[in-house]
Amino acid sequence: MSGTPAELLKVTVGPFVFVARFEIEKAPETCRIFKSFLPFRNQTIHSRWSGEAVWVPLGDFAFGAGFENHTSHPSRGDILLYPGGFSETELLFAYGSSHFASKMGVLAGNHFLTVVEGREHLEPMGRMVLWQGAQDIAFEPLSA
């Protein structure tokens, strides 16, 4: 595991546990604001347009960060925050091949977390959400 405890986060999706590293140097504002919401709990569902990814729809929630370190092509294990605009605010968690999009077209989200532990559980997690439906998701300090 690389990173100090302040740079790491426990991410739980259903029975699967991951450790993710904040991308503090690349997305400092997104990381700072997201940390202020910890612990963050919601539900995740399978993405409709983005390929092998699950997402957390957040509606018209005003997150407060602009675009930084944004991408439409997240890598396996990347977690993005789309701060809203053309589509609703959302989190996207790529577990495989993904191209971030919505019914409005291609989106770019802030890559602010990268899974550094538990990567072997990414595909089983994604398949579980696809075939079993919505799952609880939690983002918590690593010490929790």
Q: Is the pLDDT of residue 31 over 90?
A: yes
Model pLDDT for residues 42-65, shown as the tens digit of each residue: 999 999 889 999 999 998 888 888
Give me the domains of the chain, ranges plus CATH numbers: 8-141 (2.40.100.20)
For 77-94, the pLDDT digits (tens) are 999 999 988 888 999 999
Residue 114: the pLDDT is: 98
Give the span between the Cα atoms of 104 and 95, in whole angstroms: 22
- Please say if the pLDDT value at position 6 is more than 90: no
Q: How far is CA 25 from the centre of its chain?
A: 17
pTM: 0.93
CA distance 123 to 16: 11
At residue 111, the pLDDT reads: 98
Supply the pLDDT for residue 94.
98
Query: Residue 3's pLDDT band (boundaries 50, 70, 90)?
Result: low
AA identity, residue 103: K
Closest CA relative to residue 122, chosen from 37, 54, 49: 54
The band of 21, judged by pLDDT with boundaries at 50, 70 and 90, is: very high
Mean pLDDT of the chain: 93
2 pLDDT more than 70: no
